[in-house]
Structure 1
Amino acid sequence: MPSNVSFTGPTGATAKVSIIDSGFRLSGLATDMLLTPSVDHFDRLPGLGSWSFLVESSTGRKVLFDLGGPADINLFPPQVADAVKQADAQVEGTKTVADVLVENGIELAQIDSVILSHGHWDHVGDITVFPSTTELVVGPGFKETFCPGYPTKPDVELPERYFEGRNVREIDFTSDKSSFFGAFRAVDFFGDGSFFLLDTPGHAVGHMAGLTRTTTNPDTFIFMGGDVCHHGGEIRPSPYLPIPDQVQFSQSGSLQDNAFLDGAIFRELNVKRGRKPDETFFDPVLAVDIPRAIQSIKETQEADAQDNVFFVFAHDMRVLDVVDLFPKSANEWKNKGWKEKALWTFLEDFTPAAVSA
């Protein structure tokens, strides 16, 4: 992979990270609700999950980055279910992230913090099942926008009970305790260089990403992207990471496993759509500040191009058949080749358009 860009920051320890799938799925969503410009024959997105990450420090502190989607959409204000219905989409959920933790022997009182990438309903799960000792950590501007919740603030997606009796801590990326990791303002969450929160604004008020150091000598990282993007074609290709000459699809789908296609057909498809060969297929649609959301994507592309960084955005279901899920650790992702296996599999969504172009 190209290495002509730099993604560096403070040195430090490692933390254990695990990827949690609660089984939440949002299906039937029209592509143009999230992405533009359109691609022929790609009118609806595949079923979207919503990853949660368990991060454990070397001293035993446990935090969750995002809580995934809810098991019951009716726990939220009525406008959430109304929006899903209007989108002609469907929500499935049988359990929560908390259920998955308990089933695997982790008591909820052991979770020191729940960190939200942002306040949208499909990332916030149900924090009310966690004890009041579990703090809620949010990004800049979150409190002013969301607290104290619905119905006092009738337009927000989180109910008042989400915040009642709980410490809500807002991250300040402008303080003297912040630093930079790559292009991002960063806060060292554990104070040992193992886990950073990154300022990635644009999609939503207070949007943050997470970065966990998974090994040292050499350093490797898992970049937990939240909703920096919603599809692989919203961050790739990039000037740092062009489409390869041969694209391998190692997942089940419309093509046989381990099938190869000529990367040139996807570059040509992008050009015919008015894009550059090394430009993303899509721009974001759903954002409070689209120019800033695009800037966050561009900053993330520098990290995504590094062979020691595994970027996983919250709805990236293309990694489902590649990664080990909780209770297994994800720290050995590089030795297991997860990035190479998953990186370009999103192009399979464009195969009907590319082969018929």
Structure 2
Amino acid sequence: MSDNRAFSVPEGEVARVRIIDTTTSIKTLETHHIMGPPMPGMHLMPEIPGWSFLVESTNGRKALFDLGVPPNWQDFSPWVMKNVHLDGWSWQISSEKHVSEILAEEGIDPAQITDIIWSHWHWDHIGDPSKFPTSTRLIVGPGFKENFLPGYPANEDSPVRESDFEGRKLQEITFEESKNALHIGEFRAFDLFDNGSFYLLDTPGHAIGHLAGLARTTTNTFIMMGGDLCHHGGAIRPSQYASLPKEIHLDAFSQFRGGFCPGAKFEALQERRGRRPDQPFFEPTFGTDIPQAIDTISKTQSPDADENVLFIYAHDSSIKGVVDMFPAEVNDWKAKGWREKVHWRFLEDFKYALSD
């Protein structure tokens, strides 16, 4: 790893990584439900996608990190359905395919998947594991079993279905007293494949048992899968490690003289909203433990700013049209310059908030 940010990763093998568009689409989500302070011109979140990561080890293990929203999402428990209609506001939710179907269309038998990892148990991440054979284990974070078993319908207040784990191994990562447990940066970590190619990171706050993933894409480059530890690039950037650029060259700012927007305009926007230039534009407003969620974001800002790490959260719309999607690989992300293209792309969402 590079520079002095103390985000070092032990040596290990390289994993093959591919990003699957789960066909998830969530629209008309009011921004204040998940983050604040308010951003002028951004009453609603941009359309929200959902990514699933296929991570393959040289030892034969094949893992999916998150599954997005399944087409049969209306079969979720009554508890879930109640919570997708917050304050009487009905979100526009759609999904065309199960991840198992997307895999099969490219010649990958779902039976080849050895592990499904839920970054957390929220309905827009868990898909439908019953579409995979029972030989595929389901991996969850700390506290899952105590808080959410049994599932629906045995427990109508559970956010997960019994069919999600019926007949299959349900493994809860504890990060304690295990030969696979270690620390990476400021995170407790678990070496899932036992060869240094794919780690699960303890990233609590947003939800009980929230996990992130860290896959080695070359000897010294990584993709960090953020789950819902943030919901927008502006909820993690800027930071003490990643300052706003002096010039923002994005298509949305072509109306500015010179074809770019000065970074000073965004610093002024921060000041008007009571934020410092080295603070993210937003803080989370939704989560199990908001102070803990903010602490997790703070810990993630170091790897996020590292040139050898491509950080992608579960609903990261900034990678659309830039990063190759499944069945293509993304291991060569650094050579293709994707990080530079997407890192500040979220600023386009603020074009209506900029002063004249």
Letter aligned with residue 214 of structure 2: L
Q: TM-score, normalised by structure 1?
A: 0.95
Q: Which residue of 2 aligns with 1:173?
A: 175
The answer as to whether partners of 1:15 and 1:58 remain within 8 angstroms in 2 is: yes
Runs ≥4 residues deviating over 4 A? 253-256
Q: Which residue of 1 aligns with 2:239?
A: 238
* Alpha-carbon separation, structure 1, partners of 2:254 and 2:144: 43
* Alpha-carbon separation, structure 1, partners of 2:33 and 2:197: 36
Q: Which residue of 2 aligns with 1:249?
A: 250
User: Secondary structure of 2:224's match?
Assistant: strand
Q: Which residue of 2 aligns with 1:146?
A: 148
The answer as to whether partners of 2:78 and 2:157 remain within 8 angstroms in 1 is: no
Equivalent residue in structure 2 for 1:105, among 104, 107, 111: 107
User: Secondary structure of 1:213's match?
Assistant: strand
Letter aligned with residue 286 of structure 1: F
User: Secondary structure of 1:354's match?
Assistant: coil
Q: Which residue of 2 aligns with 1:193?
A: 196
* Alpha-carbon separation, structure 1, partners of 2:148 and 2:326: 30
* Alpha-carbon separation, structure 2, partners of 1:25 and 1:87: 16
Q: What do the CA deviations read for 1:166-219 (whole angstroms, capped 9, x no partner)?
A: 110001212242111111110111111110000000000100000000001xx0
> Residues 125, 255 of structure 1: CA spacing in aligned structure 2 closer, same or farther, 3 A cutoff?
farther
Aligned length: 351
Q: Is structure 2 residue 183 aligned with structure 1 residue 183? A: no
The answer as to whether partners of 1:27 and 1:46 remain within 8 angstroms in 2 is: yes
* Alpha-carbon separation, structure 1, partners of 2:98 and 2:253: 31
Q: Which residue of 2 aligns with 1:209?
A: 212
> Residues 302, 60 of structure 1: CA spacing in aligned structure 2 closer, same or farther, 3 A cutoff?
same
Letter aligned with residue 228 of structure 2: D
User: Secondary structure of 2:26's match?
Assistant: strand
* Alpha-carbon separation, structure 1, partners of 2:6 and 2:306: 8
* Alpha-carbon separation, structure 2, partners of 1:283 and 1:188: 30
Q: Is structure 2 residue 293 aligned with structure 1 residue 293? A: yes
* Alpha-carbon separation, structure 1, partners of 2:155 and 2:38: 35
Q: Which residue of 1 aligns with 2:164?
A: 162
Letter aligned with residue 282 of structure 1: F
* Alpha-carbon separation, structure 1, partners of 2:279 and 2:304: 14
Comparing 207-216 with 152-161, greater Cα deviation is found at 152-161
* Alpha-carbon separation, structure 1, partners of 2:21 and 2:98: 9
Q: Which residue of 2 aligns with 1:276?
A: 276
Q: Which runs of 5+ in 1 are unaligned?
A: none
Q: Which residue of 1 aligns with 2:38?
A: 38
* Coordinate RMSD, CA, aligned: 1.7
* Alpha-carbon separation, structure 2, partners of 1:155 and 1:280: 35
Superposed, 1:254-269 pairs within 5 Å as 259-269=259-269
Q: Which residue of 2 aligns with 1:21?
A: 21
Shift of 1:81: 3.1
> Residues 87, 4 of structure 1: CA spacing in aligned structure 2 closer, same or farther, 3 A cutoff?
farther
User: Secondary structure of 2:227's match?
Assistant: coil
Q: TM-score, normalised by structure 2?
A: 0.95
User: Secondary structure of 2:296's match?
Assistant: helix
Q: Which residue of 1 aligns with 2:227?
A: 226
User: Secondary structure of 2:93's match?
Assistant: strand
Comparing 201-210 with 158-167, greater Cα deviation is found at 158-167
Shift of 1:259: 4.6
Letter aligned with residue 296 of structure 2: S
